[in-house]
């Protein structure tokens, strides 16, 4: 079946018959490709992004009496070594690295970040000026940063149209009034965010709280972030972004690189002690899905999703991760002293853990109960919105694009949830792809996924279910901010709209889709505003 084939292609499973690490890519026939298989694996240590440091305090925009830590983060063009035997790669990063420095902060501790655009005036990746929001009369290099998963006031959320050019900056306020979680920051510029993120504009953001502290999970050097993303690299180390055969419309619907990087390195290794570690994993790819496993399908304990801890650890052997999804897991290397263990995504080896023979005593814990999460009853929802994920033929591009609810970005706002109410959104996927759907501002729970007759829906607009509703897997049963909407299914999520009123966005997190109309504004209104 086509749908299954597309999913397999995206996870790379179809390539499993090929030799390991040889990642097929659309342009592999035309470019002199780098063959990662010919590079020695596990010669570079895993790089842990540095922790961001504040430079003083500034008054809070909410209350000038309150002083908040102030951070200055400059976006710059950098050169970065992806692998020992490759020349340095030109990228865009924050400060001197990509991924950028990691924020460490606490729930309730607000902070200010001045995101400074110090990028060059010219882009080094192929802009498609036929895309809405990337027209040829606009400056090539524009940026605006969004904190993904943040409950952020609208003026600081990084609205895609609020981009600015080199030499300018914007200071955003993150109140952080939300549970402990691993968020991430990334560019969100209209029409080019796929290129800006691919160039390197992303980084991690940790929020801690007392619930998490009390659990005594592995911490410090025993808590390791793993930001995973694929890139297309040439043998001279250059970063290449694939293009369509149409020079005036280079947009491509999806990108699969030939190299899968972990924290910016190709095939890194990490020396570990024979004890418990906590891994905070994030899929930072433009479009690739992963199905992670450790060694020969070793069992690990998943303890969290995008928006924080699960109620209890769950034993898993594999974790499927769509772009922007995060998982939090604990693995105990104590039974593997002296071994080398690979982190893999199906047939692809990503990195190696080298377990020492001995280590310091492990005083960390993995408690049986983590954080209570009340399931939101469906009866709490004041309304249900049926929203389609569909395809469209683009007459200018003569290519297929994707649309949310058949409505392009620039049309008036149609989704106006009322602050402090709960809604159910039914994501009706009419396409052959799985789309990771993300809403800004909020966290949500998955209710279920149910197959339906897509032809009948497209013909008559009626829903005829063709199978039972499937509740979310235990690994998806926590608080989410991004959900896989699989093809041929209606994925239902239940969303409390809390925090702020104002204009936000929701979109597919396959960045090529997002940049080409698979994004819509939505607006949280106060009671009395239009639904």
Q: Which part of the chain contacts Cu ion (CB under 5 A), choosing from 77-85, 105-113, 485-493, 504-512?
A: 504-512
Question: Minimum CB separation from ligand C2O for residue 503, in Å?
Answer: 13
Q: From the list Cu ion, ligand C2O, none, which binds 324 (C-beta under 5 to 8 Å, kind-based)? A: ligand C2O
Binding-site partner at residue 510 among ligand C2O, Cu ion, none, CB < 5 to 8 Å by type: Cu ion
Task: Note whether 404 binds Cu ion by CB under 5 A.
Answer: no
CA distance 519 to 511: 10
Taking alpha carbons only, the member of 412, 224, 427, 178 closest to residue 328 is 224
Where b means 16+ CB within 10 Å and e means fewer, 139-172 reads ebbbbbbbbbbbbbbbebbbbbebbbebeebbeb
> Near Cu ion by CB under 5 A, which window of 12-20, 29-37, 140-148, 259-267?
140-148
* 110 neighbors 174 (Cβ within 8 angstroms): yes
DSSP states of 422-463 = EEEEEEEE-SSS-EEEEESS--BEEEEEEEB-HHHHHHH---
Contact partners, residue 208, CB within 8 Å, separation at least 6: 104, 105, 106, 107, 180
Do residues 102 and 205 make contact, with C-beta atoms less than 8 angstroms apart? yes
Q: Which of 303, 494, 510, 524 contacts Cu ion by CB under 5 A?
A: 510
Shortest Å, Cβ 220 to ligand C2O? 28
SS3 label, residue 400: strand
Q: Of ligand C2O, Cu ion, none, which one sits near residue 435, judging by CB under 5 to 8 A according to partner kind?
A: Cu ion
Least CB distance from residue 261 to ligand C2O, whole Å?
Answer: 18
Report the C-alpha gap between 22 and 420 in whole angstroms: 49
Among all residues, whose Cβ is closest to Cu ion? 508
**Which residue's CB atom is positioned nearest to ligand C2O?**
148
Q: Cβ 408 to Cu ion, closest distance in Å? A: 15
Interaction partner, residue 116 (ligand C2O, Cu ion, none; CB < 5-8 Å by kind): none
| Minimum gap (Å) between residue 286 Cβ and ligand C2O | 12
Per the DSSP assignment, residues forming a β-bridge with 437 are: 483, 508
- Which of ligand C2O, Cu ion, none lies near 113, with the C-beta cut-off 5 to 8 A by kind? none
- Quick one: which segment of 198-206, 226-234, 435-443, 453-461 binds Cu ion (CB under 5 A)? 435-443
Note whether 508 binds Cu ion by CB under 5 A: yes
Which stretch, 71-79, 199-207, 282-290, 512-520, contacts Cu ion (CB under 5 A)?
512-520
Does 440 bind Cu ion (CB under 5 A)? Our answer is: yes
Least separation in angstroms between CB 76 and ligand C2O: 21
Query: If binding is defined by CB under 5 A, does position 485 make contact with Cu ion?
Result: no
Is the Cβ of residue 409 or residue 452 nearer to ligand C2O in the bound state? 409
Only one of the segments 36-44, 226-234, 237-245, 506-514 lies at the binding site for Cu ion (rule: CB under 5 A); that segment is: 506-514
List the one residue out of 94, 134, 54, 100 whose CA is nearest residue 205: 100
Half-sphere exposure of 92 (CA within 13 A, CB side): 29
Q: Which is nearer to ligand C2O, 188 or 480 (CB)?
A: 188
- Distance in Å, CB of 178 to Cu ion, minimum: 13
Residue 275 burial class via C-beta count within 10 angstroms: exposed 0-12, middle 13-18, buried 19 and up? buried
- Our CB check for Cu ion shows the closer of 180 and 508 to be 508
Give the helix, strand, coil percentages of the chain, each rounded to 5. 10, 40, 50
d(CA 47, CA 82): 10
Q: Rounded distance, CA 480 to CA 450, Å?
A: 19
What is the per-residue burial (b if ≥16 Cβ within 10 Å, else e) of 456-494? ebeeeeeeeeeeeeeebeebbbbbbbbbbbbbbbbbbbb
Nearer to ligand C2O, 265 or 520 (CB): 520
- Report 141-180 residues binding Cu ion (CB under 5 A): 148
Q: Please, what is the minimum distance in Å from the beta carbon of residue 511 to ligand C2O?
A: 9
507 binds, among Cu ion, ligand C2O, none (CB under 5 to 8 A by kind): ligand C2O
DSSP 192-212: THHHHHHHT-EEEEEEE-HHH
- CA 148 vs. chain centroid, Å, equals 8
Q: Is the CB of 155 or the CB of 295 nearer to ligand C2O?
A: 155
Kindly state the smallest distance separating residue 513's Cβ from Cu ion, in Å. 3
Stretch of residues binding Cu ion (CB under 5 A), selected from 111-119, 218-226, 439-447, 487-495: 439-447
In a 3-state reduction of DSSP, which class is residue 405?
A: coil
Q: Say if residue 238 is exposed, middle or buried (CB neighbours under 10 Å; 0-12, 13-18, 19+).
A: middle
Q: What does the alpha-carbon distance between residue 427 and residue 232 come to, in Å, rounded to a whole number? A: 31
Which of ligand C2O, Cu ion, none interacts with 186 (beta carbon under 5 to 8 A by kind)? ligand C2O
The residue (of 21 and 105) whose beta carbon lies closer to Cu ion is 105
Least distance in angstroms from the C-beta of 391 to Cu ion: 10
> What is the H or E stretch that residue 7 is in?
helix 2-11
CB of 148 to Cu ion, least distance (A): 4
Residue (370 or 505) nearer to ligand C2O, CB: 505
| Residue ranges that bind ligand C2O, judged by CB under 6 A | 146, 148, 186, 188, 324, 438, 440, 505, 507, 509
Contacted entry of Cu ion, ligand C2O, none for residue 508, CB cut-off 5 to 8 Å set by kind: Cu ion
Task: Compute the least distance from the CB of residue 191 to Cu ion, in Å.
Answer: 16
Site of interaction with Cu ion (CB under 5 A): 148, 435, 440, 508, 510, 513
């Amino acid at each position: 079946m086509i749908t299954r084939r597309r999913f397999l292609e995206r996870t790379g499973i179809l390539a499993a018959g090929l030799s390991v690490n040889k990642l097929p890519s659309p342009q592999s026939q035309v470019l002199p490709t780098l063959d990662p298989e010919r590079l020695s694996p596990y010669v570079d240590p895993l790089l842990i992004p540095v922790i961001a440091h504040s430079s003083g305090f500034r008054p809070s925009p909410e209350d000038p009496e309150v002083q908040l830590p102030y951070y200055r983060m400059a976006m710059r063009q950098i050169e970065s070594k992806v692998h020992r035997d490759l020349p340095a790669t030109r990228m865009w990063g924050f400060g001197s690295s990509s991924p950028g420095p990691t924020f460490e902060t606490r729930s309730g501790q607000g902070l200010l970040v001045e995101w400074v655009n110090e990028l060059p005036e010219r882009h080094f990746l192929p802009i498609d000026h036929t895309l809405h929001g990337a027209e040829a009369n606009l400056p090539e290099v524009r940026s605006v940063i969004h904190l993904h998963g943040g409950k952020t006031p609208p003026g600081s959320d990084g609205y895609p149209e609020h981009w600015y050019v080199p030499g300018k900056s914007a200071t955003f306020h993150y109140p952080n009034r939300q549970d402990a979680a691993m968020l991430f920051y990334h560019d969100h510029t209209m029409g080019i965010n796929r290129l800006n993120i691919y160039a390197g504009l992303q980084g991690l953001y940790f929020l801690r709280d007392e619930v998490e502290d009390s659990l005594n999970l592995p911490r410090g050097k025993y808590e390791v972030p793993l930001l995973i993303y694929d890139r297309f690299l040439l043998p001279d180390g250059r970063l290449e972004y694939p293009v369509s055969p149409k020079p005036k419309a280079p947009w491509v619907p999806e990108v699969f690189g030939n190299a899968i990087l972990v924290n910016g390195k190709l095939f890194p290794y990490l020396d570990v002690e024979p004890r418990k570690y906590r891994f905070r994993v994030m899929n930072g790819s433009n479009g690739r899905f992963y199905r992670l496993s450790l060694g020969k399908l070793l069992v690990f304990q998943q303890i969290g999703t995008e928006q924080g801890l699960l109620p209890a650890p769950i034993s898993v052997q594999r974790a499927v991760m769509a772009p922007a999804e995060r998982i939090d897991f604990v693995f105990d290397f104590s039974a593997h002293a002296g071994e080398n263990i690979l982190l893999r995504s199906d047939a692809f080896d990503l990195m190696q853990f080298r377990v020492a023979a001995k280590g310091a005593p492990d005083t960390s814990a993995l408690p049986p109960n983590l954080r209570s999460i009340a399931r939101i009853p469906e009866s709490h929802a004041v309304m249900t919105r049926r929203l389609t994920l569909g395809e469209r033929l683009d007459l200018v591009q003569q290519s297929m694009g994707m649309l949310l609810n058949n409505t392009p970005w620039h049309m008036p706002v149609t989704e106006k949830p009322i602050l402090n109410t709960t809604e159910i959104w039914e994501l009706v996927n009419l396409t052959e792809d799985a789309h990771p759907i993300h809403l800004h501002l909020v966290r949500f729970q998955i209710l279920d996924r149910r197959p339906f007759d897509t032809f009948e829906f497209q013909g008559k607009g009626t829903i005829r279910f063709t199978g039972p509703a499937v509740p979310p897997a235990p690994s998806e049963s926590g608080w989410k901010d991004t959900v896989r909407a699989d093809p041929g299914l209606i994925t239902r999520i239940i969303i409390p709209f809390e925090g702020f009123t104002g204009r936000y966005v929701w979109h597919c997190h396959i960045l090529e889709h997002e940049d080409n109309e698979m994004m819509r504004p939505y607006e949280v209104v106060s009671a009395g505003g239009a639904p």
